[in-house]
Amino acid sequence: MKTLVFLCLAVATVMAVEKYPDQWDNYPIDDVLKNDRILVVYIKCSLQDTPCSNKEAERLRQYLPEAIRTGCERCTDKQKELARYVIRFLREHKPQEWASIVSKYDPTGELRAKYEHFLKA
C-alpha cells in the first residue's frame, strides 16, 4: 500500500508542470507595444545572442524558445492571454519583426501549427 501511495505521489509530481514566474502576469504590455523605442529593445534582445541591455527583455528571451516550442505550456493563464495579445499585435502592426522572430525560433516552420492552435484557443 505504501508503495502505491508513493508511486501515485511520484507520478503526480512529475505530471505537475511548473509555471513560469508570474512577474509578467500584470506587466503593462501596452506601454511596450505602443512605444517603438522600447519595443525595439525587446525585439532586438529576442533576436540576438548577446546580453540584453534590458533585464526584463533578457528574462523574456530566456523563456521564449521553450514557450514557443511547447505552445506556452508552462505559461499562467494571464501569460497566455498576454502572449496571444502580443503575437496578434506584432502580426498586424510589425509584420517584419514578427517574421524575424518566427525565422529565429521556428526556422523550419514545424512549430507553426502549434502556435496557430495556441492563438485560436
For the domain that residue 39 is a member of, what is the CATH number? 1.10.2080.10
Instruction: Please check whether residue 2 lies inside any domain of the structure.
Output: no
Quick one: 47 exposed, middle or buried, by C-beta within 10 A (0-12, 13-18, 19+)?
A: middle
**Does position 22 have pLDDT exceeding 60, yes or no?**
yes
Instruction: Please check whether residue 106 lies inside any domain of the structure.
Output: yes
Contact assessment for residue 56 and residue 67, using Cβ atoms and an 8 Å cutoff: no
**Does position 11 have pLDDT exceeding 60, yes or no?**
no
Instruction: Please check whether residue 11 lies inside any domain of the structure.
Output: no
pLDDT, residue 15, reads 42
Instruction: Please check whether residue 93 lies inside any domain of the structure.
Output: yes
Domain count, the chain: 1
pLDDT, residue 35, reads 96
pLDDT, residue 47, reads 93
Q: What is the mean pLDDT of the chain?
A: 84
Share of the chain above pLDDT 70, in %: 87
Map grid coordinates 501511495 to a residue. Answer: 5
Q: What is the CA radius of gyration of the chain?
A: 17
Whole-number Å distance between alpha carbons of 53 and 17: 30
Please work out, in degrees rounded to the nearest 5, the angle formed at the alpha carbon of residue 104 by the alpha carbons of 103 and 105: 100
Instruction: Please check whether residue 4 lies inside any domain of the structure.
Output: no
Instruction: Please check whether residue 112 lies inside any domain of the structure.
Output: yes
Entry pTM: 0.80
